[in-house]
Amino acid sequence: MTAPSTMRVIPDRLQSPLTRALRSWEALLLVVFVLVFVINSFASPYFLNAWNLSDATFNFTEKAMIAFAMAMLIIAGDIDLSVASIIALASTAMGLVMAAGADTPVIVLTGIAVGVACGVVNGALVAGMGLPSIVVTIGTMSLFRGISYIVLGDQAFTSYPKDFAYFGQGYVWWVFSFELVLFAVCAVAFWLLLHRTSFGRTVYAIGNNPTAALFSGIRVQRVRFILFLLTGLMSGIAAVCLTSRLGSTRPSIATGMELEVVTMVVLGGVNILGGSGTIPGVVLAAFIMGLVTFGFGLLNVPGIVMSIFIGLLLIGVIAVPRLFRGK
């Protein structure tokens, strides 16, 4: 009798870098990006215009800048659902100082400072007091948005300085907007922070096993606090860009954006339970969502259909990998 033949499985870490890259989630996202680009180019004759493609980037740059920080937060096992409300509160604060006669630098610094302050509040409640992040940020989501409604009511702040419009409407060179350049800078910065520093390794360690990370000498609560601080900072920066692009402040600004940010992060391959994910994946997911939204706009698809698509996409990217692992 001959012994039954067995297949030797090579662990992922022993495979060649090219094989790992081709089998990665990022490779699949790249294929999806190419397919979406090709479909959009056939669906509308206006899609391949350089200026139209430049306008398409406005659909995702502000959300993606928050998604970079959100990705690190989710990898560490937490989440921040108050990011859209932070934008509303930061935009309201910018409107207040603008109405008081402040110039553009003060307006910008105010928006960023309010974002950081909101991140400090979330971080203190989660990391300092040990409260669950999802409960805390649902509460602060209502708190921050409620403050904006109390201050503004049905009113709006308009008449921002002309030079303030550059942050959301200006172009650095040709079709490359200031927001797109800022998005690229943030992508590189967060890639370096997560994938090339010891701080990034601690984020992965905390997401995989916070207790083991604590006994390994990692100051877990401090890292979690810093991640909430980063999320607040990026929300403040996004508030500056969004308010500048719209040219006005209303308490309903950025409503529902937290869902799109989380969808972008999960679509980028970040495990919603923590412990894994990459910044390049989030970048590709941002471009895919931006192109899909822009394509829907060119085809005059109603906004409610886009909302349904985003909800289904969020469910799908969580459910489908689990189904394949079960098989």
pLDDT for the residue numbered 56? 85
- End-to-end CA gap in the chain: 32
> Which residue in the block uniquely carries the two structure tokens 């200031």?
178
pLDDT tens track for 189-203: 999 999 999 999 999
State the total domains in the chain. 1
Task: List beta partners, residue 171.
Answer: 177
DSSP, collapsed to helix, strand or coil, labels residue 46 as coil
Q: Give domain status of residue 45, yes or no.
A: no
Q: How far is 194 from 69, CA to CA, in rounded Å?
A: 10
Percent of the chain clearing pLDDT 90 (strictly above): 63
Give the largest CA-CA distance in the chain: 92
Instruction: Please report the pLDDT score of residue 303 as a whole number.
Output: 74
More confident site: 133 or 322: 133
User: What pLDDT, on the 0 to 100 scale, is given for residue 3?
Assistant: 47
Q: Nearest-CA neighbor of 108 among 181, 174, 168?
A: 168
Asked if residue 275 is part of any domain, the answer here is: yes
Convert the pLDDT of each residue in 202-233 to its tens digit. Answer: 999 999 999 999 999 999 999 999 999 999 99
C-alpha–C-alpha distance, residues 299 and 311, integer Å: 20
* 28 part of a folded domain: no
Chain segment 234-261, per-residue pLDDT in tens: 999 999 999 999 999 999 999 989 989 9
Q: What is the pLDDT of residue 11?
A: 54
Identify the CA nearest to 231 among candidates 314, 123, 91, 132.
123
Q: Which residue has the tokens 């406005």?
A: 58
- pLDDT at residue number 1: 46
Distance CA 251, CA 297 (A): 25
In a domain, 316, yes or no: yes
pLDDT at position 327 is 63
| Residue 245 in domain | yes
Asked if residue 75 has pLDDT above 80, the reply is yes
Q: How far is residue 95's CA from residue 180's CA, in Å, rounded to a whole number? A: 24
pLDDT tens per residue across span 101-139: 899 999 999 999 999 999 999 999 999 999 999 999 999
Which range has the worst mean pLDDT, 22-26, 162-166, 178-182, 217-221?
A: 22-26
* pLDDT, position 109: 97
pLDDT averaged over every residue in the chain: 89
Residue 24 belongs to some domain of the structure: no
297 within a domain of the structure (yes/no): yes
Domain holding 180, by residue range, is 51-326
In a domain, 40, yes or no: no
* DSSP state string for 112-149: HHHHHHHHHHHHIIIIIT---HHHHHHHHHHHHHHHHH
In this predicted model, what pLDDT tens digit does every residue of 23-35 receive, in sequence order? 788 888 898 899 9
Q: What is the CATH number of the domain that holds 64?
A: 1.10.3470.10
Question: In this predicted model, which residue has the larger pLDDT, 50 or 316?
Answer: 50
Which residues lie below 8 Å from residue 87, measured CB to CB, with a gap of 6+? 115, 235, 238, 239, 242, 253, 254, 257
Lowest average pLDDT, out of 7-11, 260-264, 280-284, goes to 7-11
Residue 5 backbone phi and psi in degrees, to 5: -75, 140
- Helix, strand and coil in the chain, % to nearest 5: 75, 0, 25
Arithmetic mean of pLDDT, 298-322? 77
Is the backbone of residue 217 left (phi > 0), alpha (psi -120 to 50) or beta? Answer: left
- For 78-92, letters b (16+ CB in 10 Å) and e give bbbbbbbbbbbbbbb
Q: What is the pLDDT of residue 324?
A: 66
